[in-house]
Structure 1
């Protein structure tokens, strides 16, 4: 096995860590249930998504509402993110100087490819878009800042996994396997192939593997200032963005773009 391939993952001992605050982790899991484009969620929906008992979720939402991280809608009987949550997100985005630097270059690539170019960061088992540029072409993906995509089956996510250290990658994939044992073998094989192509092509590809009608390539990088790994992708509808065009025309431009970002 190539040393970069995914080994058999070992069980995590996070739950046995005496420094791990379970109540805090559960509260953050509830907040993470809110996704881009969704405004209101009830306790049952939050319980289903977080895999926590509804009684536990009810106590957590009560506490989070008291602290301003959630706001209760009396008419709908559901919760929306409160101003405290929004303040945290805004503070994080404002500190990402790379967004302002990267945006004009991303827009240039989006216009060239007639596609969508996005910058993403990891949040547990997802990649979250923190910047997004679309071409003026009508046919582009409608994913905005704050959108989440899966880390293990998308080009953006797999590029992140290829760039990450083996310890972090194995921890992520352990949790992916625990979520879906049935699909794990195909996910593992897909990640292994992506890591191999990352070293041979300089990027990860997703030609219909995440969504059948979507093609994308991605490269990840660690900014020169030592902040967390970022991943940048270029993607769009398959009928408008062929694998050949992405590999032959977009790939060298994307790699050149990331080399510029690495030096920033």
Structure 2
């Protein structure tokens, strides 16, 4: 069967194989084939749960013959499943085994969730925790109340750092050297997006230092306004977490995000830190990232 023409471009939060491999050029210990296999697994998302080899090739930048060998191997190992009727692959059940230990290593999520749910119900929106992952921040816990509009966060969903309040709040926690490296990577990953949002990104970091939270008015999804607060930078493996609250624009009064919901989210972040024994973070003042 001839494969369908790819209907989805490379996800905005994902680097092409070419770019990722270029970052590791000269590293003799870097296992290129393994890296390509993992990049293939990351090509799948909720919008494209089934992909043919050509679609994967377009999404990742890996040549189709190489993709065919990788998908065959991953399917034999159970990390992909093959649909012979469609001549396409989807993620296999075995992939879930990788996720479980990571989530189990974040037990604070269960402690935080009842507090998150209370706020979500109160403001009729969503409250989520995200983990910084390079140019993306990935949802690791979420609570929602009723109809929350077109964006329904779920565990494992990556969203871009530069365009989101939660991404900016997490970046605000980074030491200066890591913050500078992240800004450089954001610019290299998507120069057009960086040029459009770098000033707002820098403003978000400054807001976190000044008042403990930052706002985002439809910069990621036009109909959703959000506020986010730095949560903590875990001592184990230096994982960086932030918490956000997203609300459909039509439910908000002018100024409510900054005057009411932002302070409540900041207080929620402090309560979660107290539950898990994390100190209040010191957010450094930085020059606007757009100036770098």
- TM-score, normalisation: structure 1: 0.86
Note the C-alpha offset of 1:234: 0.1
- Aligned equivalents of 2:203, 2:227: Cα separation in 1: 14
Question: Would the alpha carbon gap of residues 146 and 242 (structure 1) be closer, same or farther in structure 2, given more than 3 Å must change?
Answer: farther
* SS at 2:229 equivalent: strand
CA contact (8 A) 1:35 1:148 kept: no
What is the Cα-based RMSD across aligned positions, in Å?
Answer: 2.1
Indicate the residue corresponding to 1:60 in structure 2: 70
1:27 aligns with 2:26: no
* SS at 1:127 equivalent: strand
Indicate the residue corresponding to 1:154 in structure 2: 164
- Aligned equivalents of 2:254, 2:126: Cα separation in 1: 15
Query: Structure 1 stretches (4+) deviating beyond 6 angstroms?
Result: none
Question: Would the alpha carbon gap of residues 102 and 124 (structure 1) be closer, same or farther in structure 2, given more than 3 Å must change?
Answer: same
CA contact (8 A) 1:223 1:261 kept: no
Indicate the residue corresponding to 1:174 in structure 2: 184
Aligned pair count reads 252
Question: Would the alpha carbon gap of residues 183 and 134 (structure 1) be closer, same or farther in structure 2, given more than 3 Å must change?
Answer: closer
Question: Would the alpha carbon gap of residues 78 and 13 (structure 1) be closer, same or farther in structure 2, given more than 3 Å must change?
Answer: closer
- Aligned equivalents of 2:142, 2:218: Cα separation in 1: 21
- Aligned equivalents of 1:87, 1:246: Cα separation in 2: 39
- Which protein has greater RCO, CA pairs closer than 8 Å, 6+ apart? 1
1:86 aligns with 2:96: yes
Which of 116, 122, 126 is the equivalent residue of 2:132? 122
CA contact (8 A) 1:139 1:240 kept: no
Mapping for residues 39-78 of structure 1, pairs under 5 Å: 39-78=49-88
Note the C-alpha offset of 1:224: 5.6
Indicate the residue corresponding to 1:208 in structure 2: 218
Question: Would the alpha carbon gap of residues 163 and 125 (structure 1) be closer, same or farther in structure 2, given more than 3 Å must change?
Answer: same
Question: Would the alpha carbon gap of residues 50 and 122 (structure 1) be closer, same or farther in structure 2, given more than 3 Å must change?
Answer: farther
